[in-house]
Amino acid sequence: MSNYGAIGVFDSGLGGLTVVKEIKKLHPKAKIVYLGDTARVPYGTRSKETVVRFALEDARFLEKKGVECVVIACNTASALAYKEVKKVCKVPVYEVISAARQQAERVGTRIGVIGTRGTIRSGAYGHIGVACPLLVPFIEEGELNSPALEIVLKDYLKKFPKIDTLILGCTHYPIIAKVIGKIMGPKVKLINPAEELAKKLPVENPSASSGLKDEYYVTDMTPRYKEVAKRFLGWEITPKLVKLG
């Protein structure tokens, strides 16, 4: 078990703040250094080569900030770039897929996954998957209780055969877990990769960073970033604008 002074987390945008939220629940004293690559979001529609290049730049940025581990919050980057990021980083690297897959296989036998096209195409979760490209725009726009969202979700989820476990394979999806649960019914267990990853982080005693202020960075600043960030994280942040590459 390690005593990390600062945990670096990166995502293609602000959705990775759901991962930060779960980490802070379990390790409230740990310092977080977060990077949202908002200038190049989404990663889910990109080629593997592009995702790898972006992820390596994200990881190098966090290492320069002195983090003691790097968390790949993005499911697409976890699926397509984890091995490459792990090779170049001098600190331990964690991704969101393996912990969620292990938990799903512990509690279920007929497992489904929803995620971006990139994540589903990669087959990284190892179970039947359905790409749901329209969900992120609904969530980003705050249409969390929209009848249209429910219609789109039903259309996606009906593509599964009978399943007993569903992995929410995108950082955005925990925001709409209640709607997904309503459609799937109480017998289907929902797995939040952010929650499972937070449990796996080897932070024995994060008091080493107690009192240190979290740092948030983005690669593009939009007028709505505060509203979206608060929706994902639960509290307001004031990120700094940075340039990668």
Q: Which residues are part of the catalytic machinery?
A: 74, 170
Calculate the alpha carbon distances from 43 to 10, 56, 78, 143, 150 in Å.
12, 13, 11, 22, 24
Residue type, 201: L
Q: Cα dist. 163→75, 98, 157, 158 in Å? A: 21, 20, 10, 11
